Structure 1
Amino acid sequence: MKENLDFLGISQADLARRAGISIKHINQIAQGTAPLTPETAILLERVLDVPADVWNSLEANWRTQEQRRQDTEILQQQLSWLDRFPLRELVARGIIPNRAKTVDNLRLLLEFLGVGTPEAAENVWGSYKVAFRRSTTKTPDEYATAVWLSLALRSARQVECEPYRRETLVALIPQLRALTLTEPKHWLAELPKICAQAGVAVVFEPAMPKTHLSGATRWLTPDKVMLALSDRFKRIDQFWFAFFHEVGHIVLHGKRLTFLDDNPAAQGDFSSEEEEANKFAADTLIPSTYAEQYRKLSERPKPFSNIERFADLARIAPGIVVGRLQHERRLKWSEGHRLLSSVDFQAHRPAG
């Protein structure tokens, strides 16, 4: 405004008279202490021959700049919130560039989490906890959990799926179970493809310290559900139990709840939904068809060739049978490791 007045040789008082606005208001606009309204922009367009759109754009940019300055001052007072997060993990996963407690890093974290302020984040997570079902013997770090879940959600939203159909997912279970016999590089590629046919977005997010999470399910839209898995235990039996546990939640419980699950095979008190999902996973991996053969095996699991013969009969990976026997205390946790293949998302992720 000042530049235009100087160019035209018009004083602020003259502009005020020409536009029918008080001198005080013109001065406040020039100083940036009063907003330039659309009505004023129209008047200035007539007097100064500068389009109203230009004035409105300048005003919007100025106000945004001022608000960013104020926002920076507010965030500067909230930098301690960063101390609650696993900064090393945030850097390793490309969320922030370094571990410095700066306003820029705080902004990046808020943008990543999809929240406007630290207070909003706390309120959002508080409401989610009502829906989460987690079986755990350890106290989880809710901030690390929020990061892990946000990473999984971002990945899941990128997965293209057919609309969710429960009957399709149920029909695919034998095909999914057969993948337990394949190498990790194969099923890491095939699991998402197969499940996408039923509206399930499967994502693999490497485990994060202090989250104590094996997996999570969450509905993204009425026609798409996320099934996220971690490699927390690095064991084939734990991975596949967690996968079918989450499938159980989707098949049995539909859209009623959002689930965050710790080790679903751990002992402890579970909600009815957790118990149902546990049973679904156990019965899927070792169906009742083989109940008698499994009973005989559990009475005499060694030599380990017995386990391999049963696994071959049931068409399931031997490591899954080892895990079941260990859970039922038919084998010691130190036994059967030769049959337990490892699961590491980073090491086994397919190229490309």
Structure 2
Amino acid sequence: MTPGADPLAYAPDSVPHPGETLKDTLDALGIPQADLARRTGLSTKHINQVIKGTAPLSPDTALLLERTTGVPATLWNSLEAAFRTQQAREEESRTLAPHVDWLGRFPLAELVKLKILPSREKTATNLLRLLDWFGVADPDTAEDVWRSYRTAFRRSTVLEPNEYATATWLRLAELSARDLDTRPFSKSGLTSLLPELRALTLVEQDIWIRQLPQLCAQAGVAVVFVPALPKTKVSGATRWLTPDKVLIALSDRFKKDDQFWFSFFHELGHVLLHGKRLTFMDDSDNLSPGGTDPDEDEANEFAANTLVPHSYAADYRQLRARPMPFSRIEAFARKAGIAPGVVVGRLQHDAALDWKYGNSLKRTVTLG
């Protein structure tokens, strides 16, 4: 089934077993059960069990019924499959019913808003819908998958502070990325795109929100924008979907362009510098130097040096020594070819500018 499809949309409340159709067919043809048994070579007892639904209608029996009744074997097989599937669904519902409280761990209001669930009710039906959307068999399997995320992601806080909301955010990103067509990944191709990607910091959101995914798709990178969910602190994630396609997911948690663009180039740093087997989930803690993970420090350094290249290092040192008035920041931004808000964020991060100054030069980023 396609992830996100309604697992119950096509499932009727009850499905008759094929024996009912067989009985109606025999009655219409005027064939007694004993006569059918003689014609098929099956026992009268077995025919009676099939009619009562206590014995399955096998593919071999379906062929015999096709020959003796004229009803195609494919129809008998379809009736049997539909009946057994419905029985399995009913058993699954009974098995999952004690686990409906698991739904309460998720941001149900957001799931309804996103049309993933039709309501906030803790029912077996909603539990089945959510499991189908996540593409997992049951709650225990989902927990195992997310435990593996904790190992795969390079941050111990990967699913904090609310692991279920964060898992929802990541799933939204993965499903969005699947729908994006990308060329096979090319490290050299992505590297050559860096100047164009950096220049997008200068344009308005309605422009870069279209051009950024288009450019990255040329190098095998699926960039998706997923609004931050309540009780999550993720700013970005990098995950290899296939050897030729990598996902970069970005949120609008901080709502400002300096954080957004630094997060984006931080994720690009992971793509270009680190292995395809690794996956990264990044939050505000990742975007500070001196952490315990050298890969995160490398990604931070890559982002910083891409946004403010070494060729502008001397100019930036002068600006950092005396960032005020704001016209100095704007002049440096024009010379360096990046957005003034990005420069403000860098100065604030470097403690050259108080966090309460310069924020008017930042642009708001809102993804949803």
**TM-score, reference length from structure 2:** 0.88
How many angstroms apart in 2 are the aligned matches of 1:195 and 1:7?
65
Distance 1:292 1:234, change over 3 A: same
Specify the code of the residue in structure 1 equivalent to 2:142: A
1:301-351 deviation line (CA, Å, top 9, x unaligned) = 2222222222222222111111112112222222211112211113xxxxx
Aligned residues: 346
Paired-residue identity, %: 59
Cross-structure match for 1:349: none
**Which of 124, 130, 136 is the equivalent residue of 1:115?**
136
Q: Using the TM superposition, name which of 73-82 and 278-287 deviates more.
A: 73-82
How many angstroms apart in 2 are the aligned matches of 1:53 and 1:261?
52
Specify the code of the residue in structure 2 equivalent to 1:37: S
Specify the code of the residue in structure 2 equivalent to 1:297: L
How many angstroms apart in 2 are the aligned matches of 1:292 and 1:163?
38
The answer to whether the 8 Å contact 2:222/2:248 transfers is: yes
How many angstroms apart in 2 are the aligned matches of 1:26 and 1:223?
55
The answer on 1:314 being equivalent to 2:341 is no
Cross-structure match for 2:248: 227
1:238-249 alignment, distance < 5 Å: 238-249=259-270
Distance 1:138 1:147, change over 3 A: closer
**Which of 111, 117, 120 is the equivalent residue of 1:90?**
111
Cross-structure match for 1:36: 57
Cross-structure match for 2:350: 328
Specify the code of the residue in structure 1 equivalent to 2:319: L
1:136 Cα deviation from its structure 2 partner? 5.2
Cross-structure match for 1:304: 326
1:267 Cα deviation from its structure 2 partner? 5.7
The answer on 1:274 being equivalent to 2:296 is yes
1:106 Cα deviation from its structure 2 partner? 1.9
The 3-state SS of whatever aligns with 1:78 is helix
The answer on 1:155 being equivalent to 2:176 is yes
1:48 Cα deviation from its structure 2 partner? 3.3
The answer to whether the 8 Å contact 2:312/2:336 transfers is: yes
Specify the code of the residue in structure 2 equivalent to 1:293: D
How many angstroms apart in 1 are the aligned matches of 2:297 and 2:277?
16
1:128-154 deviation line (CA, Å, top 9, x unaligned) = 322112375993322111111111111
Distance 1:75 1:135, change over 3 A: closer
1:32 Cα deviation from its structure 2 partner? 1.6
The answer on 1:195 being equivalent to 2:231 is no
1:229 Cα deviation from its structure 2 partner? 0.4
1:235-285 deviation line (CA, Å, top 9, x unaligned) = 111000000001111111141311111123236634121111111001111
**Which of 226, 230, 233 is the equivalent residue of 1:209?**
230
Specify the code of the residue in structure 2 equivalent to 1:75: L
1:31 Cα deviation from its structure 2 partner? 2.0
1:159-178 alignment, distance < 5 Å: 159-178=180-199
CA RMSD of superposed structures (Å): 2.0
The 3-state SS of whatever aligns with 2:71 is coil
The answer to whether the 8 Å contact 2:288/2:300 transfers is: no
Distance 1:268 1:11, change over 3 A: farther
Specify the code of the residue in structure 2 equivalent to 1:283: N
How many angstroms apart in 1 are the aligned matches of 2:290 and 2:227?
25
1:144-167 deviation line (CA, Å, top 9, x unaligned) = 111111111111111122221110
Distance 1:267 1:99, change over 3 A: farther
Distance 1:139 1:160, change over 3 A: closer
1:89-147 deviation line (CA, Å, top 9, x unaligned) = 11111211221222332222122112222222222222232211237599332211111
Distance 1:344 1:5, change over 3 A: same
The answer on 1:338 being equivalent to 2:354 is no
The 3-state SS of whatever aligns with 1:302 is coil
Specify the code of the residue in structure 2 equivalent to 1:104: T
Cross-structure match for 1:3: 24
Q: Any stretches of 5+ residues in structure 1 without a counterpart?
A: 347-352
Q: Using the TM superposition, name which of 207-216 and 63-72 deviates more.
A: 63-72
The answer to whether the 8 Å contact 1:152/1:204 transfers is: yes
